[in-house]
Structure 1
Amino acid sequence: QTPVSITQFTEADHKKNRVNKIKDIAHLVPSLDISTAADQSAPDISMRGVRSYNLTALGDPAVGVHLVGVYSPRMQGALALLYDI
């Protein structure tokens, strides 16, 4: 079996750490990096150094994103879905 690392935080943690943008979550999760290029709508998310440079509709992300328990297979627009964070 492969061990799984889970980082959990609450609304109080968001307020305490001043999480105003989805990118700010990277400060709460070890080895997480969230960045965007100026000309891209998709975030570039890496975890533990694993990153995918294929952000097209044919490429799969290196880091999976789940929103309210539902897997989001494409990164395009992922930041917009979390506008109210």
Structure 2
Amino acid sequence: MARDDLHFRLRIPEALKAQLEESAASNNRSVTAEIVSRLERSFSVVPEWENAIENMNDLWKRVEVLEGMVQDHDERLNPGKHDWR
């Protein structure tokens, strides 16, 4: 981190600080760098989720088409089977 970056005090629970310290150590970086990394990643999650939601919507549309095809196929193989609907 650059020395001219904004400096501020932050109050967090002791257990969370311990988790950050442990994670920072395992990632070979300072606690500050760990916090910055996690904050930066949290802001990039939204576009990733939006992309995932678009993919899921596309998959649901495909499933609906396939369900209709299966129903049509089933009706051709078993005429009148579902007349009670």
TM-score bracket for the superposition, by shorter chain length = under 0.3
Q: Which has a greater percent of helix?
A: 2
TM-score w.r.t. length of structure 1: 0.22
Structure with more contact order per residue of length (Cα contacts < 8 Å, sep ≥ 6): 1
